[in-house]
């Protein structure tokens, strides 16, 4: 009975909706934790320390297989088929390293995308602020153009002072002429 109602619910859904599989073996993991681990691994794989350790390991393996295997039967050597196990180990390391590096790159891409978005928003705000300030400066210039500037007032005062001096000179001349 419960099976029929579940089927009806599944039929009622569209094909583009995932089916509810119910309780089962689902792997639970923290993507943030896995991401941090993958970044640490990728960061280590990109260092000289890793290259030196990997080189020392490969040299050790080659020395072990060349000198210890010399004169012995293949069953008595660490790697019965020359360097096949080393190749297998290197392939295994690469098969795990590549996805971890890709995970780290994806996380970095996500961080870059967020940073670019924040930078774009910040740039838009700065542009809006700049446009506002440009409009304010233009309004101030326009307002100053209609008001008297310091230089204009000074020139008018000089002209008035010159006129007063001229009038004083004229009145002094007239008084001196009357006195004679």
The pair of three-digit structure tokens given for residue 78, joined into one six-digit string: 């660490």
The pair of three-digit structure tokens given for residue 8, joined into one six-digit string: 């009806």
Sequence-ordered alpha helix ranges (H) in the chain: 2-12, 31-45, 48-63, 84-146, 150-179
> Are 100 and 41 a contacting pair, CB within 8 Å?
yes
Tens of pLDDT, residue by residue over 13-45, are 666 776 666 566 667 777 788 888 888 888 888
Distance CA 77, CA 61 (A): 11
Tens of pLDDT, residue by residue over 129-178, are 999 999 998 888 887 776 767 788 889 889 999 999 999 888 888 887 77
Distance CA 108, CA 124 (A): 24
| Other beta carbons within 10 Å of 65 | 19
The pair of three-digit structure tokens given for residue 80, joined into one six-digit string: 């019965």
Q: What interhelical angle do 31-45 and 84-146 show, nearest 10?
A: 110
Tens of pLDDT, residue by residue over 37-72, are 888 888 888 888 988 999 999 898 888 777 776 666
* Domain ranges across the chain: 32-133
């Amino acid at each position: 009975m419960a099976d029929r109602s579940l089927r009806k619910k599944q039929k009622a859904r569209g094909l583009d909706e995932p089916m509810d599989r119910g309780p089962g073996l689902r792997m639970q993991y923290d993507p943030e934790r896995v991401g941090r681990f993958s970044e640490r691994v990728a960061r280590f794989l990109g260092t000289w320390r890793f290259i030196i350790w990997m080189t020392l390991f490969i040299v050790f393996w080659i020395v072990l297989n060349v000198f210890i295997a010399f004169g012995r039967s293949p069953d008595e050597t660490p790697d019965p088929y020359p360097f096949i196990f080393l190749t297998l180990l290197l392939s295994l390391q690469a098969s795990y390293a590549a996805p971890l590096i890709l995970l780290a790159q994806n996380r970095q891409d996500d961080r870059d995308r967020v940073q670019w978005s924040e930078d774009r928003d910040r740039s838009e705000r700065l542009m809006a602020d700049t446009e506002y300030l440009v409009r304010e400066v233009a309004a101030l210039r326009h307002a100053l153009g209609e008001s008297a500037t310091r230089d204009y007032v000074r020139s008018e005062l000089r002209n008035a002072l010159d006129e007063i001096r001229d009038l004083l000179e004229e009145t002094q001349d007239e008084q001196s002429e009357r006195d004679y």
